[in-house]
Amino acid sequence: MENIEYEIKYAIEHMMENNYPRKELWNMDSKVPGLLSGIRAGDDAVVLGKSVYNMEGPYPLILGSKTALIHTSCDVVAMGARPLYAMDAIQASNEEEIKIAIDGLKKQSIGLDIPIIGGNTQTVESLKSCLSVVVFGELITEKIIKDSGSKDNDIMIMLGHPVEGDIGERVQKAKNKYETFLELVSSGIEVHACKDASRGGWLCNILEMLLKAEKGVLINSMPYPRATRYLGTYLVSIPEYELPNVLEIAMKKRCPVMPFGVVTSEKILKIGNKEYITKERMNELIKNFPYKY
């Protein structure tokens, strides 16, 4: 955390890069009857009735063959839904790359029990090799877990193993996190908000949660030393009284959980004794952030 000011600057820039597309597509939500969370929400996935959809990518082909389905399904689970099936889109330069992509996606699919039921594969020489995945899921309760719901005095926790290693390791760690989080939701534990610590890291994603909730945070522990690294863990905002219940389930599932901050009504970002984002700067960011709930 020696370069925390740089990491905060990076996190803010990353967080704001979707502003233009969302503003340009702002009125699309009104064209879909029954849409509960769409372009205006800018959440981890889209919710229509009890159906939850997420699309990620394009990933560089080799990286996507190890993690695309894992990463895409992660955001579906974060909203309180169980992934059901998926589709892919693959751009490869030759048959060997097609084999690499399909073999990797198949391993992820079998390990996570998310069948891939269709998609598109092409070999256009002028295009870079890459792949995308869309995952279809279904809410396991009537509640949508949004990333905007943090409340005053909530405990912010990090849940799950960092998703890294070979395909087998990544699948095991992701599956452990999915099963643990979905049990929290299904058991009735009050979860106010959840977000995947994806590209931009825990700092970027907690900032996004705070801006949407119009809250601040006092960070009193270090969930991971590099604040902007992709982790694949969940940032979960819960009432303090639910922490023992979360720990009980996490212990049963052998899933890491770390409380690391407290949500505050004062709109600041404070780590230990030092204030890194002032109330004035936070209000400016909130004003410039387009998402609405």
Taking residues 211-225, report their average pLDDT. Answer: 89
Q: How far apart are CA 12 and CA 17, in angstroms?
A: 9
Q: Domain check: are 190 and 114 in the same one? A: no
Q: Domain check: are 122 and 186 in the same one? A: no
User: Over 70: is that where the pLDDT of 157 sits?
Assistant: yes
pLDDT digits (tens, 9 = 90+) for 239-265: 999 999 999 999 999 999 999 999 999
Q: Domain check: are 103 and 163 in the same one? A: no
Q: Domain check: are 230 and 187 in the same one? A: yes
Taking residues 9-27, report their average pLDDT. Answer: 81
In order of 32, 55, 129, 195, 255, the CA distances from 214 in angstroms are: 27, 27, 40, 16, 30
- 58 upstream amide cis, omega within 30 of 0: yes
Contacts of 223 (CB under 8 A, 6+ apart): 158, 202, 233, 258, 260
Query: How many CB atoms lie under 10 A from the CB of residue 104?
Result: 21
Q: Domain check: are 172 and 86 in the same one? A: no
Q: Domain check: are 132 and 162 in the same one? A: no
Q: Domain check: are 68 and 117 in the same one? A: yes
Number of domains forming the structure of the chain: 2
For the domain that residue 125 is a member of, what is the CATH number?
3.30.1330.10
Asked if residue 25 belongs to a domain, the reply is no
Q: Domain check: are 101 and 205 in the same one? A: no
- Average pLDDT value over all residues in the chain: 92
Residue 77's nearest CA partner among 218, 175, 182, 232 is: 182
Q: Domain check: are 127 and 54 in the same one? A: yes
CB 54 within 8 A of CB 91: no
Specify the residue for token string 């610590």: 197
For the domain that residue 235 is a member of, what is the CATH number?
3.90.650.10
User: Over 70: is that where the pLDDT of 37 sits?
Assistant: yes
Q: Domain check: are 68 and 186 in the same one? A: no
Q: Domain check: are 176 and 217 in the same one? A: yes
**How much is the pLDDT for 293?**
56
Q: Domain check: are 120 and 194 in the same one? A: no
Rg of the chain over all Cα atoms, to the nearest angstrom:
19
Domain range for 88 is 43-139
